[in-house]
Chain A
Amino acid sequence: MFMHIYKYRLRCLARDREMVFWTLIFPLILATMFHFAFDQLMGRQEAFRPIRTAVVASDAYRQNVAFRQALDALSGPGEGQLIELTVTDDREARRLLADGAVAGVITVGDPIGLTVSQSGIEQSILKAVLDEYAHRYATVTGILEEHPADPGGLLWELGQMRSYTQQISFSSAEPDTTLNFFYALIAMTCLYGGFLGLRNTTDVQADLSPQGARRSVAPTHKLGVVLYDSAAALTISLAEVTVLLAYLMLALRVNFGNQVWYVLLTSLAGCIAGVSLGAFIGTFVRKSENAKTGILIGTTMTMSFLAGLMIDTMKHTIARKAPVLSYINPAALITDAFYSLYVFASHRRFFLNIGLLLLISGAMCTLSFLRLRRDRYASL
């Protein structure tokens, strides 16, 4: 009996085109839109062109070998090129500055001068570079005067740029600020499994559909029918989330780290929560089919919004200002489970999220079934 009801339920749900659109195609479209939006944003941020700079070819410049070498290093072609240098006379340098062809004019003297025609990021970078050079020059000169014994080792040490903090990722993933959007999208897709749960409750209740009436007069235990239908809904929902994950990872190259099984476990728990939410709304909301669908969409979108689907800082704002919401919002629990996989070495927080998700799902399922199991209806 299980296979018979399960098989046909799978066909019913998988062939419902409108449902497949909302539960699979729509998240895929959103994922694609997110991808292109973030790609453009990151592209703009990362584009950097060397700062066009003029230096006055004076005698002081020609004699200051150390400074010339420093400028050569900064203007050498390659990934680290910071400035695009033009060595010219004072008049030409000022003309270039006036025409906006260079961001600044460097005049070597004591001190080294920088002439700019306006303030901006490029000018600030040039100033920072010259300040750094002047600072190091003064330091080295001072040390040499006070400790002439071992100048070689000291100068080598000064030449090193050291970082005293180290970035470690436990999931082998590169840090990515856009990931929270994708987590929220997966959470939304899991919760859209609610459409399947909602359809199930409609098709099993005699007072909501003729199909429900026909199934109610059959010699099959209602709990069995509800469980078999739910198994089919869960299968479809999980398959859809898996397709979304595969699309994100393989086509859009979103990096979820190396804990794929945990990602799938989160998706399974999310799908259980989604199907349960749909069943809960379908059972307890005594409104029309359209009204129930509207309530389900509104609920899942609100949950996803609070989990950071539209604003990436929302999740943290809620966690700070109304922490209880983070523990009862299935979308927040799903995104936090992904987040904890990505960030923490321990799985403690991950399993806390999964446990809470299953607890909430269990509560919704139990209440729904207690309502669904009633024997007879007051009216049809």
Chain B
Amino acid sequence: MLVRVQNLVKRYGNLLALDHFSMEVGEGEILGLLGPNGSGKTTTINCILSLLEYDKGVIEVFGKAMAPDAYESKRNIGVVMQNVAVFQELRVDENIDYFCGMYVSDAKARRRLVDKAIDFVGLGEFRTFYPKKLSGGLLRRLNIACGIAHEPKLIFLDEPTVAVDPQSRNKILEGIRDLNRQGATVVYTSHYMEEVEQLCTRIVIMDKGKTLAMGTKDELKAMINDGDTVTVELYALQPDHVANIRQLPHVTRAEYADNRLAVHFDGGQHNLLTLLDYLKSRDLSFGRVFSEQPTLNDVFLEITGRQLRD
């Protein structure tokens, strides 16, 4: 394991930010830390990086206890902060060179790494620009380049796509996949479940400083995937029909709102045909029909009773 966190407890005064939180990160993974704002994702990262004091728990990185003076471990860690951490007075290439130089002292090697990082984030034509001249998306890319230019083995990315345009977001996500393909292990925090679903090989869902669930995307969905949800566009469905549909085989839930009927089936086969047969038999005309797989939001909803973006 590259990172091992055990029973981590962190309090801010009376607020319990991390409540016996545990997780592990294996080599070559992209681990997603998913949770709503204030769930403790950034606090976890900052504790792992030895920036924050914590009340209790064990943190190991590269098999050694993590500490502020664990320089050997730190040399192999890259961090992309949630807030853009660059100097406004330095140009794009100077910013990357500056932060890279805190890890790599050889100037020749550093020049190569800086050029590579600039190409990687697609800032080639902006390399002599000052940060204030960059758009929000380009600034985020610079922030990433500053964190990964020294080619670390373990990279922490804390919400790197917040307030980023779709084009830059795709570029960033592609870049993270590339880094992983090149051998980097990635810890990625986000409250965007779509990103985490797309990107991460394993996911930790957390809320109120606790681990709610952990596993691959499929494992997590399997926790609640005891059936399918079928949605049908219908105009003016009477409540007695909804009641009748609830009586159909394997139906566990049926709700009608905004001209849409959502029916959840608990296992079984040919559920869609059964539902459509019922609608035809009652001469109920319908529009489009969707069959949906559960999302991570459904997992979160199932566990907490709340939406992920609450």
Contact A218 B87 (CB under 8 A): no
CB under 8 Å from chain B, chain A span 253-283: none
Alpha-carbon gap, A13 to B87, bound state (A): 10
Contact B89 A213 (CB under 8 A): no
Contact B52 A379 (CB under 8 A): yes
Give the interface SS of chain B, mostly helix, strand, loop or mixed: loop
Cβ of B62 < 8 Å from any Cβ of A? no
Contact A16 B89 (CB under 8 A): yes
CB under 8 Å from chain A, chain B span 39-62: 46, 49-53
CB under 8 Å from chain B, chain A span 362-380: 375-380
Cβ of A215 < 8 Å from any Cβ of B? yes
Contact A210 B53 (CB under 8 A): no
Tell me which of A4-12, A113-121, A140-148, A170-178 binds B. Answer: A4-12
Alpha-carbon gap, A376 to B47, bound state (A): 9
Question: Whole-angstrom distance from the CB of B14 to the nearest CB of chain A?
Answer: 13
Question: Whole-angstrom distance from the CB of B157 to the nearest CB of chain A?
Answer: 13
How many residues from B make CB contacts under 8 Å with A? 34
Cβ of B283 < 8 Å from any Cβ of A? no
Cβ of A214 < 8 Å from any Cβ of B? yes
CB under 8 Å from chain A, chain B span 196-231: none
Contact A11 B90 (CB under 8 A): yes
Name the residue of chain B whose CB is nearest to the CB of A8.
B98
Contact B74 A217 (CB under 8 A): yes
Cβ of A211 < 8 Å from any Cβ of B? yes
Alpha-carbon gap, A222 to B84, bound state (A): 21
Looking at the complex, which one of A8, A214, A215, A220 makes contact with B90 (CB distance below 8 Å)? A8
Contact A380 B50 (CB under 8 A): no
Alpha-carbon gap, A320 to B101, bound state (A): 54
* CB-defined contacts of A12 to chain B, threshold 8 Å: 87, 89-90
* CB-defined contacts of A80 to chain B, threshold 8 Å: none
CB under 8 Å from chain A, chain B span 269-298: none
Contact B68 A375 (CB under 8 A): yes
Cβ of B123 < 8 Å from any Cβ of A? no
Question: Whole-angstrom distance from the CB of A21 to the nearest CB of chain B?
Answer: 14
Q: A214-B79, A217-B74, A219-B71 are in contact. Are A380 and B90 (CB under 8 A)?
A: no
Contact B85 A377 (CB under 8 A): no
Alpha-carbon gap, A216 to B97, bound state (A): 17
Cβ of A15 < 8 Å from any Cβ of B? yes
Contact A216 B51 (CB under 8 A): yes
Contact B85 A211 (CB under 8 A): yes
Cβ of A1 < 8 Å from any Cβ of B? yes
Cβ of A206 < 8 Å from any Cβ of B? yes
Looking at the complex, which one of A11, A222, A379 makes contact with B12 (CB distance below 8 Å)? A379
Contact A4 B105 (CB under 8 A): yes
Q: A11-B94, A210-B83, A375-B67 are in contact. Are A218 and B102 (CB under 8 A)?
A: yes
Contact B51 A377 (CB under 8 A): yes
Query: Looking at chain A, what size class is its interface with the partner chain?
Result: 20 to 34
A210, A215, A217: which has the most chain B beta carbons within 10 Å? A217
Cβ of B75 < 8 Å from any Cβ of A? yes
* CB-defined contacts of A216 to chain B, threshold 8 Å: 51, 68
Question: Whole-angstrom distance from the CB of A3 to the nearest CB of chain B?
Answer: 10
* CB-defined contacts of A378 to chain B, threshold 8 Å: 12, 52-53
* CB-defined contacts of A221 to chain B, threshold 8 Å: 69, 71
Alpha-carbon gap, A376 to B48, bound state (A): 11
Alpha-carbon gap, A379 to B55, bound state (A): 12
Q: A190-218 toward B: CB 8 Å interface, digit per residue (1/0)?
A: 00000000000001001001110111111
Contact B46 A380 (CB under 8 A): yes
Name the residue of chain B whose CB is nearest to the CB of A1.
B105
Name the residue of chain A whose CB is nearest to the CB of B46.
A380
Question: Whole-angstrom distance from the CB of B147 to the nearest CB of chain A?
Answer: 8
Contact B83 A375 (CB under 8 A): no
Cβ of B72 < 8 Å from any Cβ of A? yes
Alpha-carbon gap, A11 to B53, bound state (A): 33
Contact A8 B94 (CB under 8 A): yes
Alpha-carbon gap, A376 to B77, bound state (A): 17
* CB-defined contacts of A218 to chain B, threshold 8 Å: 74, 99, 102-103
Name the residue of chain A whose CB is nearest to the CB of B71.
A219
Contact B101 A217 (CB under 8 A): no
Question: Whole-angstrom distance from the CB of B145 to the nearest CB of chain A?
Answer: 12
* CB-defined contacts of A16 to chain B, threshold 8 Å: 89
Contact A210 B51 (CB under 8 A): no
Q: B73-93 toward A: CB 8 Å interface, digit per residue (1/0)?
A: 011010101011111011000
Question: Whole-angstrom distance from the CB of B17 to the nearest CB of chain A?
Answer: 9
| Interchain Cβ contacts under 8 Å between A and B, 18 examples | A1-B105, A5-B101, A8-B90, A11-B89, A11-B90, A11-B94, A12-B90, A210-B81, A210-B83, A210-B85, A213-B51, A215-B102, A217-B49, A219-B74, A375-B50, A375-B68, A376-B53, A377-B51
Given contacts A376-B52, A379-B52, 19 further A-B contacts (CB under 8 A): A1-B101, A1-B102, A4-B98, A4-B101, A4-B102, A5-B101, A5-B102, A8-B94, A11-B90, A12-B89, A203-B87, A210-B85, A211-B86, A216-B68, A219-B103, A221-B71, A377-B53, A379-B12, A380-B51
Q: Which residues of A line the B interface, CB within 8 A? A: 1, 4-5, 8, 11-13, 15-16, 203, 206, 209-211, 213-222, 375-380
Q: Which residues of B line the A interface, CB within 8 A? A: 12, 46, 49-53, 67-69, 71-72, 74-75, 77, 79, 81, 83-87, 89-90, 94, 97-99, 101-103, 105, 146-147
